[in-house]
Chain A
Amino acid sequence: MSEEVLQQASPGLIPGSGTARAAKPTRLSPSFISWLQAGPMMLVFLAFFLIPLAFVVIVSFWDYNEYQLLPHFSGRGYTDTFEGCLAQLPELCTIGKTYLKTLKLCFLVWAITLFIGFWVAYFLAFHVKSKTWQMGLSLLCTIPFWTSNVIRMIAWIPLLGRNGLVNSGLMKMGLINHPVEWLLFSEFSVVLALVHLFTFFMVVPIFNSMVRIDKSLIEAAYDAGASGFQTLVNVIIPLSKPGIVIGSIFVITIVMGDFITIGVMGGQQIAAAGKIIETRVNALQFPAAAANAVILLVITFLIITMMSRIVDIKKEL
């Protein structure tokens, strides 16, 4: 496709296409064609992302009362959010605690999904030889996505509960005398459910990077006397980096904004950045909710910027 585009845009560029030039004279300038091609996506992006985002930022600086937005400048959404942050030092204020908890959950989920996702992708890319099996097995990974993520999440509850399958199984085996309480409505269950839901988002991009690694590079490493571990660290991981970063971006952005999984699996007792926004919206305090959304966006953006500092995705793709 790209070659075709190039040909149309500047026929002289590709050797042997000089004859085409005579037959089909260029009428539109190449840059115009480029803009035309990017245009539809850009418009969608503008209408459904940038403009709404601009509204969120604007509303976050409005004032509000019980029943309406007051469209004059006010930093109340922000000052309320950071209420008590200075007074309570050295103890953390609500927003500080909430973000610390969200980041902790996010880090755990990221590390575990990366570990599992990497090895699943590794298995698919290097151990499964036939293309058909590769295809078949990766499709198998998508089966859980045939049901909604709410159902996949709720399915854990009867398993992990006080009288759930895991607890009754352990008790029957005589391993424990009392049901284990931390299995459900705890950080453990939140992380478990999030890992279950989102590992696939790691598998796909990493797998995609791995299958594009030239097999002769691995053979070369082997010929040069590298051990399996050395090949992994020096050849495969560096070449899978774009996949790792893209997968990480997926997982981190989803987990940072999540409030449903954290709510249900954490028994509504665990704070999350998304949860604050939800409570504010429900109380019709839209500017405060918008301010929190802006804060969340900035923090998520910082994390992603840091990650793309480590790997230049644009260059790698």
Chain B
Amino acid sequence: MTETTRKTGVSRRTLLKGTAGLAGLAAGSGAITGFPYVKSADAKVLRYLGTAVNEGDDIAKQCLKDTGIKIEYITATTDDVTKRVMTQPNSFDVLDTEYFSLKKIVPSGNILALDAKKIKQFDNITPVFTKGETPGGKKIGGQGTAPWKVLYLEGKDSKKFATSATEFVTLIPTVYNADTLGIRPDLIKRPISSWSELLNPEFKGKASILNIPSIGIMDAAMVVEASGKYKYADKGNMTKEEIDLTMKVMTEAKKAGQFRAFWKDFNESVNLMASGETVIQSMWSPAVTKVRSMGIACTFQPLKEGYRSWASGFCVSKGVSGAKLEWAYEFVNWFLSGYAGAYLNRQGYYSAVLSTAKAHMEPYEWAYWMEGKPAEKDIKAPDGSLLEKAGAVRDGGSYEDRMGGVACWNAVMDENDYMVRKWNEFIAA
């Protein structure tokens, strides 16, 4: 009896100690994420999953006012949005995502294509998406996952992309832009005109590239091609040998100390540039604007090899049906009706339906953002803060020049798995 008591006493204590130790290990090994979802009692509610790009509070407020639909934002990073579509397709109603992720999302069958006939402005969507050319007729570079390659499905429940227009649209386009390198003209003090400058030893320890493999690899490819080391058949769909070659060039530069840091999110890129840690780096348009609004010279430098572009749009979760699906159509139609487009244009992005956005912008705003003309008056952000003084001209100029100068699009390659492994190798080098 005594013996048993002692034994159990010890084993119980051992058990508790062991558990506490391992629980500590568990707590240390990963952050605990996820919030319980509180369902609202409102009648017309749509859960909107996307990155922060389109998710302005003003847009949600205006939408509620105009349509009575309450938008609940679920904000995540590009990678996390895709992850969520794959693993929790019932946790959202409307999805706002980039075209390149369609190569993963569509085969999973977790999203519902929208019916083009129910989108009022569908015929007014810029030909950038439907034909791969600007409204002025300039052909746009199609390397990578260009939107027009993945815009249509063969049928309602098809998992195959159609080669010609059908009424089943994967993503109704909303926003897109042309990205290039950001530079600090005050610190570089000479003109920059090529992607190859990113690896110029002159900027040793002062360059940066983004550490999101599917975007970073495209910037790397632009650099490799610009420096004349190799010409890709399709930068957005490299062979294993091409991936090896690209990563070899980047690894050598990294080992030589070319890069100050890599960045992963918007604010990191702003801080690197604003603090002078870097003078040349991959960047996004609003990040450049943000650095400039801090009173620091920063240029979104047009380069002769062209821009790397991206685009995103709306679709709905496969779980959405009935009245909710109708609200989703109502919301998408509202989004394309002008207010949101003007809002996005004023941030330096581009809206999918140009005519409606134009109607919601002042003529001087349209001239500055879209026509590349000098600003007649001070240019203000949607929140009213000053972006540019009168007389300023947008980097890269007009819509025609910027979108017409696109060379490639963010991409998911056939060899994506291999590319991600090589990217890890690059980070470890």
Segment among B11-19, B308-316, B337-345 that sits at the interface with chain A: B11-19
* Residues of chain B with a CB closer than 8 A to A34's CB: 8-9, 11-12
- The size of the chain B interface, using a CB distance under 8 A, is 58
Most buried by A among B30, B259, B425: B425
Q: CA–CA, A49 to B23, complex, Å? A: 8
Identify A49's interface contact among B26, B421, B425, CB under 8 A. Answer: B26
Please give, as numbers and ranges, the residues of chain B lying within 8 Å of A49 by CB-CB distance: 22-23, 26
Give Cα A111–Cα B276 distance, bound, in whole angstroms. 34
Which of the residues A6, A42, A317 comes within 8 Å of B5, measured between beta carbons? Answer: A6
Task: Give the interface centre of A101, A268, A297 by most chain B CB atoms within 10 Å.
Answer: A268
User: In the bound complex, do residue A269 and residue B261 qualify as a contact, i.e. CB atoms below 8 Å apart?
Assistant: yes
Query: Once the chains bind, are A284 and B83 in contact (CB under 8 Å)?
Result: yes
A34 shortest CB reach to chain B, Å: 4
Nearest CB in chain A: distance from B69 CB, A: 30
Q: B28 contacts the other chain (Cβ, under 8 Å)?
A: yes
* 5 nearest A-B pairs in the assembled complex, by CB-CB distance: A267-B261, A271-B428, A268-B262, A282-B79, A34-B8
Instruction: Give the residue name and chain of the B residue nearest to A264 (CB).
Output: B268
Q: Which of A266-293 contact B (CB under 8 A)?
A: 266-271, 275-276, 279-285
Interface residues in chain B, defined as those with a beta carbon under 8 Å from any beta carbon in chain A: 1-2, 4-5, 8-9, 11-12, 14-17, 19, 21-26, 28-30, 79-80, 82-83, 86, 103-105, 107-108, 205, 211, 213, 254, 259-264, 268, 271, 275-277, 412, 416-417, 420-421, 423-425, 427-429
Interface residues of A in 243-273 (CB under 8 A from B): 246, 249-250, 253-254, 257, 263-264, 266-271
| Chain B residues, Cβ within 8 Å of A185 | 260-261, 277
Bound complex: CA A35 to CA B261 (Å): 53
Q: Decide if B424 touches A45 in the complex (CB within 8 Å).
A: no
In the complex formed, the residue of B with least CB distance to A29 is B4
Chain A residues with Cβ under 8 A from B107's Cβ?
Answer: 66-68
Question: Bound complex: CA of A160 vs CA of B364, how far in Å?
Answer: 43
Is A206 interfacial (CB-CB < 8 Å)?
no
B interface, over-half SS: helix
Considering the complex, give the chain B residue whose CB is closest to the CB of A258.
Answer: B28
Q: How far is the CB of B99 from chain A (nearest CB, A)?
A: 15
Q: Are A31 and B275 in contact (CB under 8 A)?
A: no
B271 contact set on A, CB distance < 8 A: 157
Can you offer 12 A-B residue contacts whose CB atoms are under 8 A?
Answer: A35-B8, A66-B104, A67-B108, A68-B86, A80-B417, A80-B421, A97-B428, A257-B30, A268-B262, A268-B263, A271-B424, A284-B104
Contact (Cβ within 8 A) B24 A268: no
Of chain A, the residue at the smallest CB distance from B254 is A269
A163 interfacial contact with B, CB 8 Å: yes
Distance from A50 Cβ to chain B, minimum over Cβ atoms (Å): 9
Q: How far is the CB of A154 from the nearest CB of chain B, in Å?
A: 9
Interface: A74 (CB within 8 A) = no
Residues on A with beta carbons closer than 8 Å to the beta carbon of B14 = 314
B-contacting 9-mer, from A9-17, A133-141, A210-218, A232-240: A9-17
CA gap between A246 and B11 in the complex, in Å: 20
Q: Which A residues lie within 8 Å of B22 (CB)?
A: 45, 49
| Contact of B424 (CB < 8 Å), options: A2, A10, A276, A314 | A276
A164 to chain B, nearest CB (A): 8
> A31-B8, A250-B28 given as contacts; is B17 within 8 A of A317 (CB)?
yes
Using a CB-CB cutoff of 8 Å, which residues 26-83 of chain A contact chain B? 30-31, 34-35, 37-38, 41-42, 45, 48-49, 66-68, 80, 83
Smallest CB separation, B426 vs chain A (Å): 9
Which A-chain residue is minimally distant from B212 (CB atoms)? A282
The distance from the CB of A298 to the nearest CB of chain B, in whole angstroms, is 13
Nearest-neighbor residue (CB-CB) of B261 within chain A = A267
CB neighbours of A162 from chain B (8 A): 275-277
| B262–A66 CB distance below 8 A | no
Smallest Cβ-Cβ distance to A93: which chain B residue: B425
Residue of A with least CB distance to B420 = A283
Are A10 and B79 within 8 A (Cβ)?
A: no
**Extra contacts besides A13-B5, A41-B15, A270-B427 (16): CB < 8 Å:** A6-B9, A10-B2, A30-B4, A38-B12, A42-B15, A42-B19, A45-B22, A66-B107, A67-B86, A68-B108, A94-B428, A162-B277, A271-B427, A275-B427, A280-B420, A284-B86
A residues within 8 A CB of B15? 38, 41-42
Say whether A268 contacts B261, CB under 8 Å.
yes
Docked CA distance A278–B292 (Å):
32
- The 0/1 profile, CB within 8 Å of B marked 1, for residues 97-129 of chain A is 110010000000000000000000000000000
Q: Which A residues touch B12, using CB under 8 A?
A: 34-35, 37-38
Report yes or no: A163 in contact with B29, Cβ–Cβ below 8 A: no
Q: Does A18 contact B (CB under 8 A)?
A: no
**Nearest A residue (CB) for B110:** A67
- Chain B residue numbers with a CB within 8 Å of A297 are 29
Instruction: Check B8–A283 contact: CB distance below 8 A.
Output: no
Residues of B within 8 Å of A269, CB to CB, are 254, 259, 261-262, 427
Contact between A45 and B23, CB atoms less than 8 A apart: yes
- Which residues of B have CB within 8 Å of A164? 275
User: Which A residue sits closest to B24, measured CB to CB?
Assistant: A250
The answer on a CB contact under 8 Å between B264 and A263 is yes
Do residues B83 and A184 form an inter-chain contact, with CB atoms below 8 A? no
* Nearest residue, chain B, Cβ from A101: B428
